[in-house]
Amino acid sequence: MDAVATRHAAAARAAAVPRPDFRRATADAPWVRRLLTAVALLFLAAFLLVPAAAVLWEALRGGLQLWWKAVSEPDALSAIRLTLLVAAIAVPLNTFFGVAAAWSLTRFRFRGQNLLLSLIDLPFGVSPVIAGMVTILLFGAQGILGAWCQAHGIRIAFAVPGIVLATVFVTFPFVARELIPFMQQLGTEEEEAALVMGASGWQILTRVTLPNVRWSLFYGVILCNARAMGEFGAVSVVSGHIRGLTNTIPLHVEILYNEYAFRASFAVASLLFLLALVTLVVKKTVEWKQAASRASRSAA
C-alpha cells in the first residue's frame, strides 16, 4: 500500500509543472507594484521617516553624555516635573469624563445625542492657539474673570493653573472618542444580562463594561496623555514662559531651540519622541487585541 502511494506521489510531483507565468487576476504587474511601492516609500521618507530619524540623530549626535546633561539640568527637570503634573491632573479628569460620556451616549437613547457628540468633538476642530486664548480671555488681567482673580490673589493665566485648564480643554475628547465607537459596536447585551441578574449600575460598569473596553480605554488614556504632555500651541499662549516655573517640556524645547542650543533642544525633544513611539506601540497592541476579541466573540 505504501509503495503504491509513493509511486503515485512521485508521478504527481513529476506531472506538476510549475506555472511561473500565472498571475492572479487581482494582482498587479510586478513593475506596477515596484513603482507604486517606491513612490509611496519615497513620499513617506521625505515627510515622515527622515524627520523622525533626524530627531534621534540630532539628539544623540553629541553623545550620550551631552544628552544626559541636557535632560537632567535643573530647568529641564522642572519642565519635566510640570509636564507630569499637568498630565496627572488632566488625564484622570478627562478619563472620568470620557467614561461618563461614553456610558451616557452609547447605553441610552435620548434627544440631543448627536448634538452632544458634535460638541465633544469641538476641541478637535479648534486651533490650539485659540484654546489657549480662551483661557486668557477668561482669566487674564483684562479677562472676564480677571478682576475677580486679582481680587482674590489667584493667578490662573500665565501660571500653572492656566496651563492645566488649557490642557484639559485640548485633550478633552480623546478618551471619549476612543470609547464611544467601540462601545457602540459592542452593544448592550452583556450589560442588560447583568442587570437582569441583579447587578447595580456601578457593578455593571466595573465588572462588565470596563473589562470589555479595557484596551480601548487604555489607548484613549495613552493618547490623552501623549497630547497632554506634548501640547504646545495652547500652553504657549497661556504660560508665562518663566524658566524653571511655567515651562513644560515642549516650551523648554522651544526656548533651547531659539537660543541655538540645538543639541540640547533635540535631546529634550527626544523624550517626547520616545513617548510618541510608546504610543504607537500601544496602538498596534490594542488593534491586535481588539481584533482577537472580535474574533473570539464571533466564534462564541
Partner 1 sequence: MTRASASRTRRGVLPGFGLSTGFTVLYLGLVVLLPLSAVVLKASTLTWAQAWEVVSSPRALASYRITFGASAIAAAVNAVFGVLVAWVLARYRFPGRTLVDALVDLPFALPTAVSGIALTAVYARNGWIGQWLEPLGVKAAFSPLGVVIALTFIGLPFVVRTVQPVLEETEVELEEAAAVLGATRGQTFLRVLLPALLPAALTGFTLAFARAIGEYGSVVFIAGNMPMSTEIAPLLIMTKLEQFDYPGATAIATVLLAASFALLLAINRLQAWTRARAGMA
Partner 2 sequence: MSIEIQGVSKAFGPQPVLRDVSLSLPGGELTALLGPSGCGKTTLLRILAGLEAPDAGQVRLEGEDLHGRSARERNVGLVFQHYALFRHLTVGENVAFPLRVRRRPKGEVAARVAELLELVQLGGLARRYPSQLSGGQRQRVALARALATQPKVLLLDEPFGALDARVRQELRRWLRRLHDELHVTSVFVTHDQEEAFEVSDRVVLMNAGRVEQVGTPAQVFEEPASPFVMRFLGAVNVFRGRVDGGRAYVGDLEFSAPSAGERSPAHVFVRPHELEVSLGPVPGSFAARVERVVTLGSAVRVELRAPPYGDRLEAELDPRRLHALDLKPGDEVHLSPRRVRVFAGRDAELDSLTASNL
Residues that bind partner 2 (CB under 8 A): 12, 15-17, 19, 21-25
Counting residues that bind partner 1 (by CB under 8 A) gives 97
**216, 178 contact by CB (below 8 A):** yes
Identify what 81 binds: partner 1, partner 2, none; CB under 5 to 8 Å per kind.
Answer: none
* Cα dihedral across residues 207, 210, 213, 215: positive or negative: negative
**Residue recorded with cell 541655538:** 260
Cα distance between residue 31 and residue 107, in whole Å: 51
Residue 53 and residue 59: Cα distance in Å, rounded?
10
Q: Which of 274, 279, 201, 252 is nearest to 72 (CA)?
A: 252
Region 25-44 residues binding partner 1, contact defined as CB under 8 A:
25-26, 28-29, 32-33, 36-37, 39-41, 43-44
Please report which residue ranges of 197-261 form alpha helices under DSSP H: 201-203, 210-230, 233-238, 249-258
Residue 17 near which of partner 1, partner 2, none (CB within 5-8 Å, type-dependent): partner 2
Shortest separation between residue 288's beta carbon and partner 2, angstroms: 24
Q: How crowded is residue 288: how many other Cβ atoms within 10 Å of its Cβ?
A: 11
Rounded Cα distance between 15 and 256, Å, is 72
Q: Is 85 in the site for partner 1 (CB under 8 A)?
A: no
45 vs 38, 55, 236, 282, CA distance in Å? Answer: 10, 14, 30, 23
- Residue 219 touching partner 1 (CB under 8 A): no
Cα 295 to chain centroid, rounded: 25
41 binds, among partner 2, partner 1, none (CB under 5 to 8 A by kind): partner 1
Which of partner 1, partner 2, none is residue 21 near (CB under 5 to 8 Å by kind)? partner 2
Output the smallest distance, CB 61 to partner 1, in A: 11
Tell me the closest approach of the beta carbon of residue 298 to partner 2, in angstroms.
Answer: 19
Which residue in this structure is represented by grid cell 479628569?
93
Q: Does residue 257 touch partner 1 according to CB under 8 A?
A: yes
Per CB under 8 A, the list member of 10, 11, 46, 292 interacting with partner 1 is: 46
Nearer to partner 2, 24 or 111 (CB): 24
Which residue, 23 or 297, has its beta carbon nearer to partner 2? Answer: 23
Contacted by 189, from partner 2, partner 1, none: CB < 5 to 8 Å by type: none
Distance (Å, whole) CA 70 – CA 263: 8
User: Among residues 114 and 296, whose Cβ is nearest to partner 1?
Assistant: 114
Closest CA to 166 of 97, 84, 234: 234
Query: With CB cut-offs between 5 and 8 Å by kind, which of partner 2, partner 1, none does residue 288 bind?
Result: none
Q: Is 101 in the site for partner 1 (CB under 8 A)?
A: yes
Partner from partner 1, partner 2, none binding residue 245, C-beta < 5-8 Å depending on class? none
